[in-house]
Amino acid sequence: MSALPQSPPSAPRRPSPGSRHLRLAGQRLFSVLLTLLGLLLLTFLIGRVMPLDPVLSIVGPDADRSTYQQVYHQLGLDRPIVVQFGYYLRDLLQGDFGNALLTGHPVTEDLARVLPATIELATLAIIVGTLLGVPLGVYAATRRGRLGDHAVRLISLMGHSTPIFWLGMMGLLVFYAWLGWAGGLGRVDFAYDGLVKPVTGLLLFDSALVGEWAVFGSALKHMMLPACILGLHSMAYISRMTRSFMLSQLSQEYILTARVKGLPERTVIWRHAFRNILVQLLTIVALAYGGLLEGAVLIETVFGWPGFGSYLTSSLLLGDMNAVMGSVLVVGTVFVALNLLSDALYQVFDPRTRQ
Amino acid sequence: MSPVASTATAVDPPIRGSLAGNPQSRSQALLQDLMRGLRRLLRNPLTVVGVIIVAMLMLVALFAPWIATHDPLAQDLAGALRAPSEEHWFGTDEFGRDIFSRLVYGSRITLYIVALVTVVVGPIGLGVGVISGYFSGWVDTVFMRITDIFISFPSLVLALAFVAALGPGLDHAVIAIALTAWPPIARLARAETLTLRKADFVVVAQLQGASSMRIMLRHIVPLCLSSVVVRLTMNMATIILTAAGLGFLGLGAQAPLPEWGAMISDGRRYMLDNWWMVAAPGAAILLVSLAFNLLGDGLYDVLDPRSE
């Protein structure tokens, strides 16, 4: 590759791959920062159109006019909106999301407490989704246009079409109430609640760490059902993408060559074609993980899972804007980070992006 | 002109009647294209199933008063929480309302949401995308930055935040969903426009002195339409699920409207003994959103040039 026109004259003619990566990373970082700033502006504006009066919620309905004015002034609501956005940014940069009405704690503290529960659930779900989705997708690609392909297509479209909260409720009904296989609401059985001191907040990890296997078992029993249901969505997505990646590989000439050489079909598919889609798959799984956050909001409500989704919905119903905007901001940031990670994985692992 | 065209028939069996042969006008060519697409669409059995279900949904919504066996809002506390029977096909809810009739009327709400969101989102997405792609430069940068911000949220969470700000209600849910649904359309329309922007026929139009407005409306938008329509169709399932999710969380349509998501939420407390209160509306949501997905999927296959 020839020297890039933008490189300064003092730089070596042929920029090293490292410096090129660095510049790309810089551009990417800039655009991410811009997106995050936009995210902040959006949450700020949403907070502004809120029909609730933030002053009233502090002073109460009985306050006289001068108290109201004073608080109005203290909150900076008499300043121009740009200045208010500046204050909002300043507070957020100091990690101050305000206090949550429900708990009375700072929102950041609350979020740090609830996020591990969601992460644990989502991680198990993505494992389920990947383990099911990838083989299904590969199978569908090898059976293109035949019954197996249609079946996988139907399964994956079903996964896309099922209202996840409904499936959660039906799952509870069948596997908990009728069959008694699954644990019920919450993260562990009531008797084990609070038995293990949170270290990482990931209950499976924490309980295994101190050897509380009864707690571990109960937690796993509680987690399997919501994780499987949550994983269905990512299974649908992953299997579709796997199928289309595999199809684009299988139509290439090296596959034809491999078949002509007489390699067994299993080797052609798994050793040749599948190996070449691994990088793409990795990026897709990262994106699917972001999608799980959305499902988590609903599934946590159904399963009484004390995670981020329950926190968001209960704050929503209370009209607790600090908590809502804090959570929305966190989700947005995680989403952006996952997108970035997915890009980065591609850059690092795909040899074609290294020059 | 010979009645049967030579090249087209090599691939497709001839179409009977006036549609056969070389098109004699632009509209006829368009019609032929449409028919060919339709036949390819209906070749996929799964797509046909989707088409049938969507058609049925529309009929049910249209003729709801004749199909429903009871008044969807009429309470009958003496007959509350009845299991499915000959009188009440899907049982009754906690107020003794007939669930089947509520489902039938609920189809109107579902279609209302889907139609309204699509009508709002389509033109906005198309407009933003085409303008962004055609002018490029700073217009593009600004528009795409805004789009990126909206895309960087999971759509349900963003819709939740909007509804929280606007207050719960059916129309607010529609606004919130629309606000989250336009960015992918804009992205798509922009990508399509970028491939067309330097095409010869656009350059010719420019040289002839056509205004940017005219080029975009007459030359670019029509060519973006097919992929935008496919995307909108595929979005419909997502819209239904998001609306149902909002309804379930109590932020969408409010009681006593028979919105399917809200019905599931109502049934939650009675679920253990009265499973039908939850099962029936959920199955309706699943069926309808599956139908839209099947339809969108089939359309995608037909209109995607790589699939040939």
Domain extents for chain A? 108-354
- Residue B123 binned pLDDT confidence (cut-offs 50, 70, 90): very high
Pick from B154, B271, B289: CB nearest A173: B271
- Residue A295 binned pLDDT confidence (cut-offs 50, 70, 90): confident
**What's the pLDDT at A338?**
85
**Looking at the predicted complex, does its ipTM rise above 0.85?**
no
**What's the pLDDT at A55?**
67
Nearest-CA residue of chain B relative to A166? Answer: B282
Q: Is A133 on the interface with B (CB under 8 A)?
A: no
* A chain contacts of residue B146, beta-carbon cutoff 8 Å: 38
Measure the CA–CA gap between A289 and A311, rounded to whole angstroms. 19
**What's the pLDDT at B11?**
44
pLDDT tens profile B44-89: 888 899 999 999 999 999 998 888 888 888 887 887 777 788 888 8
Nearest-CA residue of chain A relative to B282? Answer: A166
* B chain contacts of residue A287, beta-carbon cutoff 8 Å: none
Contact A285, B218 (CB under 8 A): no
Q: Is the pLDDT reported for residue A235 higher than 50? A: yes
Q: Return the residue in A146, A155, A157 with the most chain B beta carbons within 10 A, the one to mutate for interface testing.
A: A157
Pick from B149, B156, B237: CB nearest A42: B149
Contact A246, A277 (CB under 8 A): yes
Is B30 or B268 the better-scoring residue by pLDDT? B268
Q: Is the pLDDT reported for residue A12 higher than 80? A: no
Closest CA to A277 of A329, A229, A242: A242
Give A152-208 as a DSSP string.
HHHHHHHHHHS-HHHHHHHHIIIIIIIS--S--SSSS-GGGTT-SPPSSS-HHHHHH
Measure the CA–CA gap between B49 and B67, rounded to whole angstroms. 21
Q: Is B161 on the interface with A (CB under 8 A)?
A: yes
Contact B158, B180 (CB under 8 A): yes
- The answer to whether the Cβ–Cβ distance between B154 and A154 falls below 8 Å is no
Could you tell me which CATH class the domain A108-354 is placed in? mainly alpha
Q: Is the pLDDT reported for residue A303 higher than 80? A: yes
pLDDT tens profile A155-194: 998 888 999 999 999 998 888 878 877 777 777 776 677 6
pLDDT tens profile A241-280: 999 899 988 888 998 899 899 889 888 888 888 988 888 8
Q: Is the pLDDT reported for residue A153 higher than 70? A: yes
Q: Is B145 on the interface with A (CB under 8 A)?
A: yes
- Residue B6 binned pLDDT confidence (cut-offs 50, 70, 90): very low
For the entire predicted model, the pTM comes to 0.83
Q: Is the pLDDT reported for residue A285 higher than 60? A: yes
Pick from A46, A290, A332: CB nearest B162: A46
Q: What is the mean pLDDT of residues A92-113?
A: 80
Pick from B160, B163, B278: CB nearest A170: B278
Nearest-CA residue of chain A relative to B243? Answer: A163
Nearest-CA residue of chain A relative to B275? Answer: A173
**What's the pLDDT at A53?**
64
**What's the pLDDT at B80?**
75
Contact B119, B111 (CB under 8 A): no
User: What are the φ and ψ backbone dihedral angles of A16, each rounded to 5 degrees?
Assistant: -65, 150
**What's the pLDDT at A57?**
63
Q: Name the E strands within B156-271.
A: none
- The answer to whether the Cβ–Cβ distance between A163 and B278 falls below 8 Å is no
- How distant, in Å, are the alpha carbons of A34, A211, A304, B219 from that of B201? 37, 72, 59, 8
Q: Is the pLDDT reported for residue B10 higher than 60? A: no
Q: Tokens standing for B158?
A: 């963003």
Q: Is the pLDDT reported for residue B100 higher than 60? A: yes
Q: Return the residue in B103, B138, B142, B157 with the most chain A beta carbons within 10 A, the one to mutate for interface testing.
A: B157
Residues in B 99-118 with any Cβ partner in A closer than 8 A? none
- The answer to whether the Cβ–Cβ distance between B286 and A163 falls below 8 Å is yes
* A chain contacts of residue B167, beta-carbon cutoff 8 Å: 51
* B chain contacts of residue A177, beta-carbon cutoff 8 Å: 272
Minimal Cα–Cα distance from B27 to chain A, Å? 33
Q: Is the pLDDT reported for residue B115 higher than 90? A: yes
Q: What is the mean pLDDT of residues B130-158?
A: 85
Closest CA to A328 of B131, B160, B18: B160
**What's the pLDDT at B124?**
94
Is A252 or A6 the better-scoring residue by pLDDT? A252
Nearest-CA residue of chain B relative to A244? Answer: B307
